[in-house]
Chain A
Amino acid sequence: MTIGISTYLIYLAISVALTIWVARTLHKNGRVFLVDVFHGNDALADSVNHLLVVGFYLINFGYVTLALKLGYAVTSAEQSIEALSVKVGMVLLVLGGMHFFNLFIFSRMRRRSVQHTQPPPIAPDAFTAVRQEA
Chain B
Amino acid sequence: MFSLTVLYDPECGLCRRAHEWLAEQRKIVELNFVPCASDEARHRYPQLNHDLTKQDLTVVGDDGGVYFGPKAWLMVLWSLVRYREWAYRLATPELLPTTKRVVSMISQNRYQISRVTGLNRLTR
Q: Taking beta carbons and an 8 Å cutoff, which residues of A are in contact with B? A: 111-112, 115-116, 118-131
Is A125 a contact of B68 with CB atoms below 8 Å? Answer: yes
Tell me the interface secondary structure of chain B in the complex. mixed
Of the A-B pairs whose beta carbons lie under 8 Å apart in the complex, a sample of 10, sorted by A's number, is A116-B28, A119-B1, A120-B75, A120-B87, A121-B74, A122-B75, A122-B91, A125-B67, A130-B63, A131-B44
Nearest Cβ distance between residue B39 and chain A, in whole angstroms?
A: 12
Contact among A111, A119, A121, A125 for B66, CB-based, below 8 A: A125
Q: A128-B48, A130-B62 are in contact. Are A122 and B67 (CB under 8 A)?
A: yes
Complex CA gap A126/B69 in Å reads: 13
Say if the beta carbon of B43 comes within 8 Å of chain A.
yes
Most buried by B among A112, A118, A125, A130: A130
Task: Count residues on chain B whose CB falls below 8 Å from chain A CBs.
Answer: 28
Complex CA gap A130/B4 in Å reads: 12
Is B65 a contact of A127 with CB atoms below 8 Å? Answer: yes
Say if the beta carbon of B88 comes within 8 Å of chain A.
yes
For window 15-73 of B, CB contacts with A under 8 Å fall at 28, 43-48, 60-68, 71
Is B45 a contact of A131 with CB atoms below 8 Å? Answer: yes
Residues of A within 8 A of B28 (CB): 116
Contact among A112, A119, A121, A130 for B60, CB-based, below 8 A: A130
A116 nearest CB neighbor, chain B only: B28
Q: A115-B88, A120-B75 are in contact. Are A130 and B45 (CB under 8 A)?
A: yes
Most buried by B among A116, A120, A123, A129: A120
Q: A120-B1, A122-B67, A122-B71 are in contact. Are A115 and B85 (CB under 8 A)?
A: yes
Is B47 a contact of A124 with CB atoms below 8 Å? Answer: no
Residues of B within 8 A of A111 (CB): 85
Residues of A within 8 A of B110 (CB): none
A132 nearest CB neighbor, chain B only: B44
Residues of A within 8 A of B1 (CB): 119-120
Is A128 a contact of B87 with CB atoms below 8 Å? Answer: no
Complex CA gap A119/B46 in Å reads: 26
Complex CA gap A36/B74 in Å reads: 27
Say if the beta carbon of B111 comes within 8 Å of chain A.
no
Complex CA gap A119/B78 in Å reads: 9
